[in-house]
Structure 1
Amino acid sequence: MARTLATYISLPGTAAEAMQHWQEVFGGELSIMTYDDVTLGAMPFDPPEGAVAHAWLEFPGGLIAASDVVDDKTYPVRGTAYSMLLSTDTAQESRGYIAKLIEGGGSEGMPLEKAPWGGWYGQVFDRFGVMWSFSSDED
């Protein structure tokens, strides 16, 4: 297997909805496995019915994996310490993804504009609180 770096995100019970939304935005092949679908034997937790054990979305240029948080801890999703960075062929392609994320209930974080390094850069928070950054070297 070739070495691949993928993003894995744990969501507070919204993993299936988020992954389906991201498939609508970015395309690709989506697989979702719930804890109901697998037999793992004794687990140190009791997952809620329908909770996502593992989901993955493969789309051109990327792989996102996710699951639902199944413990009683609170994990913040929205923040500025991280973002999902997608480099696109053109700024227009970035604008298209940004528009889809905003139309899906997201909000603009930083408009897509010429960046000091010469390319284009912008940010949007999707409706799940995940920050998406987009960059392109071309108009």
Structure 2
Amino acid sequence: MSIRTSAYITFTGNAEEALTFYHSVFGGNLEIDKYGDMPDTEFPFEPEPEWVAHGDLTGPVNISGGDGGDQPLKSHVYSFLVYSDSIEEGRALLEKLSANGGEEAMAYEEAPWGDHYGQVRDRFGVLWAVEANEN
């Protein structure tokens, strides 16, 4: 069996900006299809032509998403956990994710279990946790 997983985020009109930002942080391959480029299809809502119908970032981090939501993404009921091979790489990821309007949610420091751990909420409202262990 060959499978892969991807978190899917429904954005509120800024999916292209968010997915492009995540691509700049994590690298990988980004593909974006917009509603305006699709053949005539009926949707359960009226999408703007420039909205993302489906975006797919694949690589070290897999994220899929599109526009069509009306709820803010800021929540405490989910987060993305990224594991890093080094403390410095983890710190750099948190700095990139918090750039341009993000905010620290938990300081990046040694955790009781011995790894380094911290959290940031990016400018789109998504909570990211980063853990690094150099053992």
TM-score with structure 2 setting the length: 0.91
Letter in 2 for 1:28: G
Unaligned runs of 5+ in 1: none
Unaligned runs of 5+ in 2: none
Structure 1 40/86 Cα, relative in aligned 2: closer, same or farther at 3 Å? farther
Moved more, 10-19 or 61-70: 61-70
Tell me, what secondary structure is at the counterpart of 2:62? strand
Alpha-carbon offset, residue 114 of structure 1: 1.0
1:85 is matched with which residue?
Answer: 81
Q: How does 1:1-139 map to 2 (within 5 A)?
A: 2-59=2-59, 61-69=60-68, 74-138=70-134
Deviations 1:38-75 (A, max 9, x none): 1253333221121110001112x2211010015xxx32
Deviations 1:89-127 (A, max 9, x none): 111111111111222321111111111111111000111
Percent identity between the two aligned chains: 39
Letter in 2 for 1:67: G
**CA–CA separation in structure 2 for the residues paired with 1:28 and 1:53:** 20
TM-score with structure 1 setting the length: 0.89
**CA–CA separation in structure 1 for the residues paired with 2:35 and 2:18:** 17
Structure 1 121/40 Cα, relative in aligned 2: closer, same or farther at 3 Å? farther
Letter in 2 for 1:33: D
Question: How many residues end up aligned between the 2 structures?
Answer: 135
Tell me, what secondary structure is at the counterpart of 1:62? coil
How large is the Cα RMSD of the aligned pairs? 1.6
Deviations 1:11-57 (A, max 9, x none): 11010000111111111211110111112533332211211100011
Whether the 8 Å contact between 1:57 and 1:64 is mirrored in structure 2 is yes
Alpha-carbon offset, residue 81 of structure 1: 1.0
Structure 1 45/102 Cα, relative in aligned 2: closer, same or farther at 3 Å? closer
